[in-house]
Amino acid sequence: MSRFAPIQIPKIKSPSIRDGYRYGFSMPTDRYEFMSRPGLSKRVVEEISFYKHEPMWMREFRLSALGIFQAKPTPIWGGNLGTINYDAIHYYLRPTTGLKRRWEDVPVEIKRTFDRLGIPEAERKALSGVKAQYDSEVVYGSLRKLLQKQGIVFLSMDEGLREHPDLVRQHFGKLIPPADNKFSALNSAVWSGGSFVYVPKGVTVQLPLQAYFRINAPNAGQFERTLIIADEGSSVHYIEGCTAPAYSSESLHSAVVEIFVKKGARVQYTTVQNWYKTVYNLVTKRAWVEEEGEMVWTDFNMGSKLTMKYPSFFLAGKGARGETLSMAMAGAGQHQDTGSKAIHLAPHTTSTIVSKSVSRGGGRTSYRGLVSISPQARGSKSKVVCDALLLDPESRSDTYPTNRILCSDVSLAHEATVSKIGEEQLFYLMSRGLNEEAASKMIVSGFVEPLIKKLPLEYAIEMNRLIDLEMEGSVG
């Protein structure tokens, strides 16, 4: 090809299913560097390890996890997992070679995808650093110069393993071992991508770090692995967003996120999960919080076919704090089985879990949670509030909390309510000139507002817009 030949820009395939999902487009996969054949086997796991030039211990870690995955039965609680076809999934999709540091170097299809999702714009405006993962690999990464100088590490997990092997080996799989559950075993066997974050002692990262996860190929499996270490007295806010094309075939996303919050440190982890409605989202997230440390999970689930995710914190040091703010919206064909786990292991620890869910169009939301206060956690406090809103008679809402108290010097309170949009509220708003749809939207916005307020402004605006889109046409 002459160097003056026009660059071929592939056409974006637009979704055939019209359901108000803005991110349903996809790009061709014919230029992918490697795609594993569908199905899971020892060979696939070895291929992944080979392509990544991994150390021996990681290859063995993967193979042993594969055995655990195959041996463990499928959980029968939560959502319906019996319908996952493991043989149809591609477990490793390598779209391109290497991670790019400059946006210009990213291959054109991928660049167009992320442009359409608004990533570079967001990066310029409100972020300290960005990672963009496309199917199995992180294809682009950046971190502001100033932060690099302060010793902050923000790499893809694969780079982290290469550049900080000791730190990774010390922490990897220690909080969520492969045998924790069937899907942590699956992730441990075939993990690829994700982020590795280290914040040095006393450093506060002012603007959030963002990771963007995009599934592009049909029948894709995405298994990112994230490890965040916040050293003593440091503070960081990590945000992840997820979208996928509108395929009628099913995809599988199963991540593992481990967070170590050292003495006096603070980590906030925000998820805006907006997968297409054919993605299984089965994720294990856990934080270990030391003395006077604080962990905040802000977990927003709107997409996917089935989500099972219960971000947890072990309050392991005296005075440690944990907070989960969980919001779930389920529409037709969706089941959001979400919640949180608070494990109090040390004295004077506090946990707060606030969950808000909206079910509509036959969708189902379930809150599933655990508060466990161990004998040595004297003077601990825990408060759990679950509110559910049902928008029509076809939808369903469940609450399944477990409160296990093994120490008498505690205070635990749990409350939950399920309700519908009040006729009086609607009547009042409609008498002020709003139509029913606008009035319903306003009530739902007010219902979730206490959680949205915890997000940085740009994200709060985006969330409100997404909720409006979800609610579009829900009345009538």
Partner 1 sequence: MTKYTIRKDEERQIVINRPGEYAIELVGEGARVEILGALVATGSERLVVDITSLHRVPHTSCDIFIRAVATDRSQVFLSGMIKIGRGAQQTNAFLRENVLLVSPWARAEALPRLEIEADDVHASHAATVGKIDEEQIFYLRSRGFSRTVASKMIVDGFLNAVRERIKH
At 68, which helix (H) or strand (E)?
helix 56-71
Tokens standing for residue 451? 């959680």
Give yes or no for a contact between 223 and 186, defined as CB atoms under 8 angstroms apart: yes
Give yes or no for a contact between 29 and 217, defined as CB atoms under 8 angstroms apart: yes
Closest C-alpha to 157, from 187, 128, 126, 201? 187
CA distance 269 to 267: 6
Sheet strands (E) in 66-160? 93-94, 129-134, 137-143, 153-156
Shortest separation between residue 28's beta carbon and partner 1, angstroms: 43
Give yes or no for a contact between 371 and 351, defined as CB atoms under 8 angstroms apart: yes
Closer to partner 1 at the Cβ: 26 or 366? 366
Shortest separation between residue 250's beta carbon and partner 1, angstroms: 25
Question: DSSP labels for 267-280?
Answer: EEEEEEE---TTEE
Give yes or no for a contact between 296 and 316, defined as CB atoms under 8 angstroms apart: no
- Residues of this chain that interact with partner 1 (CB under 8 A) are 388, 390-393, 395-406, 408-420
Closer to partner 1 at the Cβ: 153 or 391? 391
CA distance 137 to 134: 6
Shortest separation between residue 396's beta carbon and partner 1, angstroms: 5
Closer to partner 1 at the Cβ: 207 or 410? 410
Closer to partner 1 at the Cβ: 318 or 378? 378
**Amino acid, res. 247:** Y
Shortest separation between residue 390's beta carbon and partner 1, angstroms: 4
Shortest separation between residue 414's beta carbon and partner 1, angstroms: 4
Closer to partner 1 at the Cβ: 108 or 426? 426
Tokens standing for residue 199? 């914040």
Shortest separation between residue 84's beta carbon and partner 1, angstroms: 24
Closer to partner 1 at the Cβ: 16 or 408? 408
Shortest separation between residue 394's beta carbon and partner 1, angstroms: 8
Closer to partner 1 at the Cβ: 59 or 396? 396
Closer to partner 1 at the Cβ: 175 or 315? 315
Burial of 440-460, coded b for 16+ CB within 10 Å and e otherwise, reads: bbbbbeebbeebbeebbeebe
Shortest separation between residue 375's beta carbon and partner 1, angstroms: 9
Give yes or no for a contact between 316 and 351, defined as CB atoms under 8 angstroms apart: no
Burial of 348-381, coded b for 16+ CB within 10 Å and e otherwise, reads: bbbbbbbbbbbbbbebbbbbbbbbbbbeebbebb
Closer to partner 1 at the Cβ: 100 or 356? 356
Shortest separation between residue 378's beta carbon and partner 1, angstroms: 9
Closest C-alpha to 412, from 360, 353, 357, 326? 353
